[in-house]
Amino acid sequence: DQQVKQNSPSLSVQEGRISILNCDYTNSMFDYFLWYKKYPAEGPTFLISISSIKDKNEDGRFTVFLNKSAKHLSLHIVPSQPGDSAVYFCAASGYSTLTFGKGTMLLVSP
Amino acid sequence: EAQVTQNPRYLITVTGKKLTVTCSQNMNHEYMSWYRQDPGLGLRQIYYSMNVEVTDKGDVPEGYKVSRKEKRNFPLILESPSPNQTSLYFCASSYNRGRNEQFFGPGTRLTVL
């Protein structure tokens, strides 16, 4: 049973536009959420996180929104840049484990 | 430089031949974890450790062992590898539990023939 779902395997966006990556979760015990970015041949790197007591967190061009009632979070990248092209993983944290989604490949074209 | 290192980076082996993938971190992190990444399945947690001598199963622990004798090291052991363990493996560490951002190693590409 997949507890963290990223239903879009890929997303293509033009440079300068907004990228919106979505993530749904099913486990109500998750109370901390993170986004990771992964380039080929590298390990994932942390991007941004949000606690369940908040509904928004911003860091530069990246904003994460959390809708607890819908068990949904999204990552907004504005403006998108070609260097943002990577696989983005949504992750949810319970007490001691981190559960990842399958990832969304973002392609930002010039 | 703060980092998580894994060795080897690439390994081709045969079914049944015991192997160990090492993981080391220099950030004094308490929490360490192993993941495998497979096409279409994303990252799945194999084992994690919340501190020295404390380890626990993740989502896909079958066929793997771990140990945490020192804070900095968290080796992954495959006692009798099988082809379905062919995968890309990542070690990660963080200050505590799964709450904080985890720092990932560069990955180990394992092929079991």
Set of chain B residues whose Cβ sits within 8 Å of the Cβ of A91: 43
Distances (CA, A) of B50 to A26, A59, A70, A84, B68: 25, 29, 31, 32, 9
Residues 6+ apart with CB under 8 A from A72: A22, A23, A24, A25, A66
Residues 3-62 of A with CB under 8 A from B: 6, 32, 34, 36, 41-46, 49
DSSP string computed for chain B: ---EEEE-SEEEE-TT--EEEEEEESS--SEEEEEEEETTTEEEEEEEEEETTEEEE-S--TT-EE--SSSSB--EEESS--GGG-EEEEEEEESSTTTSPPEE---EEEEE-
Two structure tokens written together for A34: 């993170």
CA distance to partner chain A, nearest, from residue B101 (Å): 6
Question: Domains in chain A: how many in total?
Answer: 1
Query: Which pLDDT does position B96 carry in this prediction?
Result: 76
A97 in contact with B, Cβ within 8 Å: yes
Query: Which pLDDT does position B100 carry in this prediction?
Result: 72
Q: What is the pLDDT of residues B1-27, one digit of tens each?
A: 889 999 999 999 999 999 999 999 999
Identity of the residue in B4, B102, B103 whose CB atom sits nearest the CB atom of A98: B102
Closest A-chain CA to B40: A102
Q: What is the pLDDT of residues B27-57, one digit of tens each?
A: 999 999 999 999 888 899 999 999 999 999 9
Closest B-chain CA to A89: B42
Q: What is the CATH number of the domain that holds A87?
A: 2.60.40.10
Q: What is the pLDDT of residues A43-94, one digit of tens each?
A: 999 999 999 999 999 999 999 999 999 999 999 999 999 999 999 999 998 8
Query: Is there a contact between B104 and A45 if contact means CB atoms under 8 Å apart?
Result: yes
Distance, C-alpha B108 to centroid of its chain: 9
Query: Which pLDDT does position A98 carry in this prediction?
Result: 85
Omega of the bond prior to A79 within 30 degrees of 0, cis? yes
Print the domain residue range for A9: 4-109
Candidates B51, B57, B99, B100, partner chain A, best to mutate (most A CBs within 10 A): B99
Q: How confident is the model at residue A95 (pLDDT cuts 50, 70, 90)?
A: confident
**Taking the C-alpha atoms of B76, B89, A37 and A95 in order, what is their torsion angle to the nearest 10 degrees?**
-40
B41 in contact with A, Cβ within 8 Å: yes
